[in-house]
Amino acid sequence: MRISELSARSGVSIASIKYYLREGLLTSGQQSATNQADYNEDHVRRLRLIRSLIDIGGLSIAKVRAALTATEDETTPMHDAFGAVMHGLDELPTDDASTDIAAAYDEVQAWLEARNWKIEDGAPAPYRLAELIATLRRFGFPAAATDFDNSADFVERTAEAEVQYARSMPDRTAAVETMLIGTVIYERALVEVRRLALEAASFRLDETD
């Protein structure tokens, strides 16, 4: 299909498609006899993925590129590719951690060990969690890594099935795409469900006042 049809099918403007091509997020179409680029279903799917990562995941172009690079190298073991994708979603803190964040980070590491959750060195999520714990404490909330045991028990129940589902895809690109979409959309959905629960709880409390 031509770029105009690709745009109509994916809902992404031609200008944006050209930008993603220049930025290397999207592979070029096949040159046809008339010297026009010819696009296929993979391009439609990839464009939808890019838009979802930007619109729903709030990712920058650089982060989308980092996450998608993991889909390309077929020699990377699957677990490492998934790691690259997950780590690409988050950012490592740029400045040196303050004392309270460093203390919270040690707690998070001990907590991960106690749960027997193996996380790659340098993964951003433990740092991020430590920052959040330190921030809660600055606001006077009593907070500890072990507070998240209930949440961890809950998400752990479905995590393996989710990873297995992604790995069951016919090829690596589909596997990594599935993992990315699953992660970004389901975590966003969890946030929305949580907000709904809080609003519903607030309403109930008003009724019983």
Q: What one-character DSSP code corresponds to residue 169?
A: S
Minimum CB distance to a second copy smaller for 37 or for 174: 174
Residue 87: CB minimum distance to a second copy, A: 8
Q: Are 132 and 148 in contact (CB under 8 A)?
A: no
Judged by CB under 8 A, the chain residues 71 through 100 that form the site for a second copy are: 77-79, 82-83, 86, 89-90
Nearest to 184 by CA among 1, 51, 40: 51
Q: Which CB sits closer to a second copy, 34 or 95?
A: 95
The nearer residue to a second copy, 9 or 38, going by C-beta atoms, is 9
By residue count, the chain amounts to: 209
| Among 14, 62, 92, 193, interactor with a second copy by CB under 8 A | 193
- Does residue 195 bind a second copy (CB under 8 A)? yes
Q: Which is closer to a second copy, CB of 20 or CB of 87?
A: 87
Under a CB-based contact definition with an 8 Å cutoff, are residues 67 and 59 in contact?
Answer: yes
Q: Are 106 and 72 in contact (CB under 8 A)?
A: no
Contacts of residue 115, Cβ cutoff 8 Å, sequence gap at least 6: 149, 152
Contact between 135 and a second copy by CB under 8 A: the answer reads yes
Judged by CB under 8 A, the residue of 8, 62, 92, 196 near a second copy is: 196
Token couple for 196: 């709904």
Q: Does 118 bind a second copy (CB under 8 A)?
A: yes
Interaction of residue 168 with a second copy, rule CB under 8 A:
no
